[in-house]
Amino acid sequence: MTGFADRHIGTGAHDQRHMLRAVGAGAVEELMADAVPEAIHESGAPAGLPVAASEQEVLERLHGLAAMNTVRTSMIGQGYYDTHTPAVIQRNVLENPAWYTAYTPYQPEISQGRLEALLNFQTMVIDLTGLGVAGASMLDEGTAAAEAMLLARRATKRGGPRSRFLVDADTFAQTKAVLRTRAAGVGIEIVETDLSAGVAPEQLDGVFGVLVQLPGASGRVPSRGALEELVAAVHERDALVVVAADLLASTLLASPGELGADVAVGTTQRFGVPMGFGGPHAGYLSVHPGLERQLPGRLVGVSRDADGAPALRLALQTREQHIRRERATSNICTAQVLLAVMASMYAVYHGPEGLRAIAEGVHAKACRLAYALREIGVSLAHEHVFDTLELVVPGRAEDVRRAALEENITVWVEDADRLRVSVDEASTDTDVADLLGAVARALGTTPGPLAPESPGSALPPDMVRTSPYLTHPVFSTYRSETAMMRYLRRLADKDYALDRGMIPLGSCTMKLNAATEMAAVTWPGFARIHPFAPAEDVAGYLRLVADLESWLGTATGYDAVTLQPNAGSQGELAGLLAIKGYLAARGEAERDVCLIPASAHGTNAASAVLAGLRVVVVGTDPSGNVDLEDLRGKVTEHGDRLACIMITYPSTHGVYEEDVREVCAAVHDAGGQVYIDGANLNALLGHARPGRFGGDVSHLNLHKTFCIPHGGGGPGVGPVAAREHLAPFLPGHPLAQTPQRADGAISSAAFGSPSILPISWAYMALMGGTGLRRATEAAVLAANYVAARLEEHYPVLYRGTSGRVAHECILDLRPLKAATGITVDDVAKRLIDYGFHAPTMSFPVAGTLMVEPTESEDLAELDRFCDAMIAIRAEADKVAAGTWPKDDNPLVHAPHTAECLTGEWTHPYTRAEAVYPVPGLVEGKYWAPVRRVDGAYGDRNLVCACPPVGNFEAAPAR
């Protein structure tokens, strides 16, 4: 019988023998012994990892875990609401590999579908918040608020140094918690104030920004007059106003933009994305025009392709941490694309009237409940509300909570005297009546029947929204399920994802995301759980979290693991803050220098700055290793100011550095800590453990090594693993169901993005320790095989001392450019014509391609890729030989669309050479929907919302 590992690993024993011959090794063990430095290489997978189980067994165990969670009617609210995911979206997006296995749309020509969905997301956010520019998703509401805080500080810099950020007391507890963590890192003082009665001038002294939540955590909706007064007072002091707005409420309430806000943040969870015990969900951030260059994260914009047709791509990328490194203003990289796509499609499917109807239904239920509660003598804290009521029940809140639980309903207990209930899209009349009955019973009264109709609106009259939204035709065209299904299919067809072929992106580990691993994500036992549900209701989740923490700790050789960070970048920040906390506790707070090799991923430097550290760059030697001499010099130079080093292992150069123990020792000897970026763990698992060869802390990317699909740019999970001495300084959360410190929250939810943890849990359970070790071997073999096959056509830039690469290899295209004029871009785009996603371009070395084949590709696909690269080299040689002119050849014109073949053909190469350069492509050819996209044009003419349909009509036929 074939075990799961044999399905996950693409190359079988026969293929591997062939590949070993090509790389000149007798056996995989020999290759690994050659490649991995002896000083760190372990002889077997660590004990303590699970024993491989079959797919059926793992599904059964996951069903068991889901059954240990109790699905109730959640009226807890506080930022998380039950919602109906339209089945057409669940099946065609969330459960569709064409959407979930795609990568971040850095190659726009093969990403037009998800870019369009993200443009819809941005347009939806722009319309509902009334602000001119929105990004393509944030990690969650809390981190979006933190990004807004940092944005406000940057944007108000000219007004002199100000370090206070005012936060309204009526803001979600988790948002306040994340703000406190992030503020402390960079010397901002959070001042929590009750702003319901306005703001006194002296309260604004030294303040650069103010955050208010709409509606408040207590459900309160302030009057427009009060909000406008607040905005005016804040603007008077040249400070910015951030409104954390509930987008469903915004369909009925004046938008943040109309109120004069500068920035809006929040979550789009209740737009069809399950609560999932806290995530993943797409956060959002929008700003008024003029602040767009300050936006963190990714921004989709409209540009044009080589034929002048409209084409989408990521805009203003020079803002991003990849480019700006330690000058970056945000470290966000992986975001929440798949969830943003879902939320945008929820808006596309329901349209403006549909969303309004849902919001009105929610509001009407809240009003009926409020009326009935008042009838039985319950006093409510606020007259003006949208969906949340705060019940004032002196000394009886706990009694009411228990009575509600008897009705299978969970509520939010604020304190002994007050509790809150939120109505949502999924609340039924029965739920509301049951809640009413429970309250009445707890208070010893009898309720009357719920009024069939709402007794009237509870929105402040001056806050009622009159402005239109979602007026673009995309929000009114796809109303029938047929139309919606076809729209989703049409967009997916434009894109290249793992379901079409190999995505050999170095540093990204685009491996198989197996169907069995994905299965549990949508089960109600995982999906319909509120993050603040009582501990007894989430036993299955807690067990799953504990298993995963333990397995990941074992696999990496660390003592403690937190799953809270919801991306690698957030893990980096959490790990660095743990180092800072530890040093401060030892009385060494003055240690603030973070050494980072020149080759590091941009997030490393950006995270260090956000943790309040000073980045000092360490050079690399000609072989790509950390330059030990430079390192020792920097260690001496910074002496007792040295906080830590941040290295990636194996390095981003794709090699196992021999000297890693020496690097770690040099820093430890000087009193510093060692952060090992674990994004490349796919080259180590089962063979070496960072916690055992010198690391004090690492983040892992579950969306790389542990099979969480990339979702077109997220979700991710970036757990942090640390040695014992750092464990007390890992993130805590004030609302966690397990004992942990209340501060240090790095994500809105205590366990980050738990609903996708079953994916990594399943992967580890299916593979077992032995399978994980084998996967690493297959990944390293595949990279060495590609290096061996391509070496003579493209030099492999770096190799370890044994001549081996690790799990990826860097192909140097600079000699090709010098000889032929053909650039990395040309090769990357030509690969599209050959039916491939390009490898990582120009990272970490400009003018190179970094190839990471992963263990999941089979030999045929690896060969197809190598053959394509070799054929492209031959094409480039024809250019050098003058057979094709430098400015008119299939490389510089790539990619070719079907449409570009239909007009007059004046090129010196044939149509067949353009699109069928190798015969195997005729069947199942992937056709790029646009020609090469002109990014600079779009940046000069910034359009980041759905353009009028007329723009497309005026474009060349397509």
Ligand X SMILES: Cc1ncc(COP(=O)(O)O)c(C=O)c1O
Binding site for ligand X (CB under 6 A): 333-334, 507-508, 567-569, 601, 603, 648, 652, 677, 679, 701, 716, 718
How far apart are CB 708 and ligand X at their closest, in Å?
10
Q: Quick one: three-class SS letters along 577-595?
A: HHHHHHHHHCCCCCCCEEE
How far apart are CB 508 and ligand X at their closest, in Å?
6
Closer CB to ligand X, residue 713 or residue 800? 713
Half-sphere exposure of 791 (CA within 13 A, CB side): 13
How far apart are CB 718 and ligand X at their closest, in Å?
5
* Dihedral sign from CA coordinates of 183, 188, 190, 196: negative
Closer CB to ligand X, residue 85 or residue 570? 570
Closer CB to ligand X, residue 330 or residue 889? 330
Closer CB to ligand X, residue 427 or residue 569? 569
* Among the listed residues 706, 705, 649, the one whose alpha carbon sits nearest the alpha carbon of residue 676: 649
How far apart are CB 821 and ligand X at their closest, in Å?
30
How far apart are CB 567 and ligand X at their closest, in Å?
4
How far apart are CB 568 and ligand X at their closest, in Å?
2
Q: Quick one: three-class SS letters along 867-918?
A: HHHHHHHHHHHHHHCCCCCCCCCCCCCCCCCCHHHCCCCCCCCCHHHHHCCC
Closer CB to ligand X, residue 284 or residue 843? 843
Measure CA of the first residue to CA of the last residue in the chain; give whole Å. 50
Cα angle, residue 724 at apex, residues 722 and 725 outer, rounded to 5°:
100
How far apart are CB 275 and ligand X at their closest, in Å?
22
How far apart are CB 565 and ligand X at their closest, in Å?
9
Helix (H) / strand (E) element for 300: namely strand 300-305
User: CB–CB of 808/508 below 8 Å?
Assistant: no
Which tokens go with 655? 């090699």
What is the distance between the alpha carbons of residues 115 and 839, in angstroms, rounded to a whole number?
19
How far apart are CB 709 and ligand X at their closest, in Å?
13
For β-strands 263-267 and 310-314, DSSP reports them as: unpaired
How far apart are CB 107 and ligand X at their closest, in Å?
15
How far apart are CB 807 and ligand X at their closest, in Å?
12
User: CB–CB of 457/431 below 8 Å?
Assistant: no
Closer CB to ligand X, residue 699 or residue 931? 699
How far apart are CB 610 and ligand X at their closest, in Å?
12
Give counts: helices (H), strands (E), the chain: 31, 26
How many CB atoms lie under 10 A from the CB of residue 154? Answer: 14
Closer CB to ligand X, residue 506 or residue 929? 506
Backbone angles phi, psi at 657, to 5 degrees: -75, 130
645 forms bridges with which residues in the sheet? 595, 674
**Strands of the 933-934 sheet, one edge to the other:** 310-314, 300-305, 933-934
For β-strands 673-678 and 642-648, DSSP reports them as: parallel
Closer CB to ligand X, residue 216 or residue 718? 718
What is the distance between the alpha carbons of residues 364 and 366, in angstroms, rounded to a whole number?
5
Cα angle, residue 573 at apex, residues 568 and 111 outer, rounded to 5°:
35
Instruction: Give the C-alpha distances (Å, rounded to integers) separating 860 from 321, 499, 771, 857.
Output: 36, 15, 22, 8
Instruction: Give the C-alpha distances (Å, rounded to integers) separating 311 from 109, 497, 537.
Output: 8, 19, 48
DSSP string, 426-445: T--HHHHHHHHHHHHHHHT-
What is the distance between the alpha carbons of residues 201 and 237, in angstroms, rounded to a whole number?
9
Closer CB to ligand X, residue 204 or residue 341? 341
Cα angle, residue 736 at apex, residues 735 and 741 outer, rounded to 5°:
90
How far apart are CB 345 and ligand X at their closest, in Å?
24
Closer CB to ligand X, residue 137 or residue 454? 137
Closer CB to ligand X, residue 220 or residue 281? 281
How far apart are CB 188 and ligand X at their closest, in Å?
22
How far apart are CB 573 and ligand X at their closest, in Å?
10
Closer CB to ligand X, residue 386 or residue 675? 675
User: CB–CB of 466/428 below 8 Å?
Assistant: no
Closer CB to ligand X, residue 247 or residue 295? 295
Closer CB to ligand X, residue 248 or residue 510? 510
Closer CB to ligand X, residue 626 or residue 816? 626
How far apart are CB 572 and ligand X at their closest, in Å?
6
Instruction: Give the C-alpha distances (Å, rounded to integers) separating 173 from 75, 168, 170, 413, 748.
Output: 16, 11, 9, 13, 9
Q: Which residue is nearest to ligand X (CB)?
A: 568
What is the distance between the alpha carbons of residues 284 and 278, in angstroms, rounded to a whole number?
16
Closer CB to ligand X, residue 213 or residue 701? 701
Residue 250 burial by CB count (10 A; 0-12/13-18/19+): exposed, middle or buried?
buried
What contacts 884, CB < 8 A, 6 or more positions away? 875, 878, 890, 908, 909
How far apart are CB 602 and ligand X at their closest, in Å?
8
Which tokens go with 398? 């706990």
Name the DSSP class of 576: H
How far apart are CB 609 and ligand X at their closest, in Å?
15
Closer CB to ligand X, residue 11 or residue 507? 507
Instruction: Give the C-alpha distances (Å, rounded to integers) separating 234 from 198, 228, 259, 868.
Output: 11, 10, 13, 59
User: CB–CB of 784/32 below 8 Å?
Assistant: no
Which tokens go with 119? 């443009």
Closer CB to ligand X, residue 253 or residue 510? 510
Instruction: Give the C-alpha distances (Å, rounded to integers) separating 33 from 16, 30, 777, 780.
Output: 16, 5, 10, 11
